[in-house]
Amino acid sequence: MIRLEKIHKSFGDHEVLKGISGDIPQGEVLAIVGPSGSGKSTLLRSINLLENPTAGKVYIDDICINEGKIDIKKIRTKVGMVFQQFNLFPHMTSLQNVIYAPLKVKKLSFKKAEALGKTFLKKVGLSDKANTYPPLLSGGQKQRVAIARALAMEPEAILFDEPTSALDPEMVKEVLSVMKELAHTGMTMVIVTHEMGFAREVADRIWFLDEGHLVEDSSSQKFFTSPNSARAKAFLEKVL
Amino acid sequence: MIFLDFERIWPSLPYILQGIPVTLSYTGVSLFLGFFWGAVLTFCKVGQIRVLQWAAGFYTSIFRGTPLLLQLILIYHATPQLTGYDISIWQAGILTFTLNSGAYVAEHIRGGINAVDKGQMEAALSLGIPYFMFMKDIILPQAIRNILPSLVNESIDLLKESALISVIGGADILRRANIVASEKYLYFEPLLVAGALYYILVMVLTFGARLLEKKLKTS
Ligand SMILES: Nc1ncnc2c1ncn2[C@@H]1O[C@H](COP(=O)(O)OP(=O)(O)OP(=O)(O)O)[C@@H](O)[C@H]1O
Ligand SMILES: [Mg+2]
């Protein structure tokens, strides 16, 4: 459902993405890994055009979204995103955070949105925190609300940019387990992560980025047992 | 030796006190309108339309860079000349104070907006929330919280500056004290009363602001 065609991205004269192509079919869980600064976040953010590629095409459901007249807001409702820093709206309760977009963007009735919100809060195990404001939540809880918020738009895919990197170690697990469950429901997920154990266990496929190139595109099993490239080998030796 | 003679102005006290609602109405109405005007200016400043950014910036610098008294006199006397509309003292006062405080409030609001962390913008984008709704429902409520203390300061400034209205004949506290003064040939006492009234009003506002701040902190 997501297709990237020769994506380039430069900041000034610093070329961060150097022509990346690939398909992410419906229902796939893809992990993007690689050294710091290799362009993982930039690539991920190109998928919902938080970064506008300098060249190349992004297709979602066979529609090129970075060319011509496209209602980008509508596209973005199809692709949710979860951020490292949660980015919750602190003046709204968990439930309000979750239902705001369904209510105001999708224009669901309050009743429907509320029911939806409660369902997804339950799914991430936070029914009892529906009326709590984000500043009073732990990091792990915040991230789970953020996941519920993305889910409530009922997107076709969700992008995760290092969802556990800002968390204390003891909270990483609760977030990963929510994500694991999500993966089992058949949600298309693109996850930038440093959690190699998680990637190995949950991802169907791995993209290994290095210096703006997609160096390796392998099944998870292949990548972690016998990677093709020397660079991936070196990377794995360093992080595992 | 200063000899204070409050007895002679005692009968005029109610007359001076009637200036309180006048002063408060100039302050309150201008602050209210000025807030919305300031919000509009802020939207122009932080928005993506170049011309509006520039216009709002120019506007702010003019109103902050010239004396309020001059603005007031100009609006009061120039409006009839330019438009043929016979502007009343009250209208001229409200208009001037609104336009002026809007310029200051806009700066406060912009500061309050900048204090909201940028990640929320990306979250809103990723949810497909339109820019205007994002500003109205997500940024503005947080910004207002951030700027409440400076808004109170703004209202205190405005309360004191509203005394300028007496220059063009507005019957506020100061003007009334002045009238009493010239009728009785007594200057110190009525002006002292006026000063005390302003001081009390400012203190009430300050106290209210502290309570509010405390409440915001706990909630
Ligand atoms: N908005 C920006 N302006 C300028 N340079 C940027 C910007 N965003 C990213 N970069 C640069 O692009 C390069 C790739 O950044 P990116 O965030 O995509 O890397 P990453 O692989 O996600 O790294 P990390 O693992 O540290 O998050 C870096 O050198 C970074 O400094
Ligand atoms: Mg990154």
SS3 sequence of chain B: CCCCCCCCCHHHHHHHHCHHHHHHHHHHHHHHHHHHHHHHHHHHHHCCCHHHHHHHHHHHHHHHHCCHHHHHHHHHHHHHHHHCCCCCHHHHHHHHHHHHHHHHHHHHHHHHHHCCCCHHHHHHHHCCCCHHHHHHHHHHHHHHHHHHHHHHHHHHHHHHHHHHHHHHCCCCHHHHHHHHHHHHCCCHHHHHHHHHHHHHHHHHHHHHHHHHHHHHHHC
Q: Using the mean position of ligand 1's atoms as its centre, give its distance from the Cα of residue A43 in Å.
A: 10
Q: Say yes or no for a CB contact (<8 Å) between B128 and A74.
A: yes
Q: Using the mean position of ligand 1's atoms as its centre, give its distance from the Cα of residue A41 in Å.
A: 7
Flag whether residue A88 sits within 8 Å of chain B, measured between CB atoms.
Answer: yes
How far does the CA of residue B30 sit from the closest CA of chain A (Å)? 28
Residue A112 has pLDDT above 80, yes or no: yes
Q: Does residue A212 line the site of ligand 1, with CB under 6 A? A: no
Q: Does residue A140 line the site of ligand 1, with CB under 6 A? A: no
Residue numbers in A near B127 (CB within 8 A)? 76-77, 80, 100-101, 105, 149-150, 153
Task: Write the pLDDT tens digit of every residue in A24-54.
Answer: 999 999 999 999 999 999 999 999 999 999 9
Count Cβ neighbours within 10 Å for each residue of A65-95 and write b for 16 or more, e otherwise: bbeeeeeeeebbbbbbbbbbbbbbbbbbbbb
What is the per-residue pLDDT for B211?
85
| Atom 17 of ligand 1: nearest residue by CA position | A41
Task: Please give the number of the atom of ligand 1 that sits closest to the Cα of A12.
Answer: 4
Residue B217 has pLDDT above 80, yes or no: no
Flag whether residue A153 sits within 8 Å of chain B, measured between CB atoms.
Answer: yes
Residue A239 has pLDDT above 90, yes or no: no
What is the per-residue pLDDT for B187?
85
Beta strands in chain A, from DSSP E residues, in sequence order: 2-11, 14-24, 29-33, 55-60, 63-64, 79-82, 157-161, 188-192, 205-210, 213-219
* Ligand located closest to A161 CA: 2
Q: What is the mean pLDDT of residues A152-180?
A: 94
* Ligand located closest to A35 CA: 1
Q: Say yes or no for a CB contact (<8 Å) between A100 and B120.
A: no
Q: Does residue A16 line the site of ligand 1, with CB under 6 A? A: yes
Residue B60 structure tokens:
């702010």
Average pLDDT, chain A: 94
Task: Write the pLDDT tens digit of every residue in A138-165.
Answer: 999 999 999 999 999 999 999 999 999 9
The answer to whether residues B165 and B100 touch, using CB atoms and an 8 Å cutoff, is no
Q: Using the mean position of ligand 2's atoms as its centre, give its distance from the Cα of residue B116 in Å.
A: 22
Residue A69 structure tokens:
């007249």
Residue B1 has pLDDT above 50, yes or no: no
What is the per-residue pLDDT for B218?
65
What is the per-residue pLDDT for B140?
85
Q: What percent of chain B has pLDDT over 70?
A: 97
Q: Which of A17-21, A67-71, B23-27, B188-192 has the least mean pLDDT?
A: A67-71
Q: What is the mean pLDDT of residues B135-163?
A: 89
Q: Which of A82-86, B37-41, B42-46, B211-215 has the least mean pLDDT?
A: B211-215
Task: Write the pLDDT tens digit of every residue in B167-185.
Answer: 998 889 999 999 999 988 8
Task: Please give the number of the atom of ligand 1 that sits closest to the Cα of A38.
Answer: 21
What is the per-residue pLDDT for B143?
86
Please name each of the domains of chain B with its CATH number. 13-218 (1.10.3720.10)
Q: Which of A86-95, B139-148, B154-163 has the least mean pLDDT?
A: B139-148
Q: Which of A69-78, A122-131, A171-180, A206-215 has the least mean pLDDT?
A: A69-78
Residue B23 has pLDDT above 90, yes or no: yes
Count Cβ neighbours within 10 Å for each residue of A9-45 and write b for 16 or more, e otherwise: beeeeeebbebbebebeeebbbbbbbbeebbbbbbbb
Flag whether residue B137 sits within 8 Å of chain A, measured between CB atoms.
Answer: yes
Flag whether residue A165 sits within 8 Å of chain B, measured between CB atoms.
Answer: no
Q: Does residue A164 line the site of ligand 1, with CB under 6 A? A: no
Task: Please give the number of the atom of ligand 1 that sits closest to the Cα of A194.
Answer: 25
Q: Say yes or no for a CB contact (<8 Å) between A104 and B129.
A: yes
Q: Using the mean position of ligand 2's atoms as its centre, give its distance from the Cα of residue A162 in Å.
A: 7
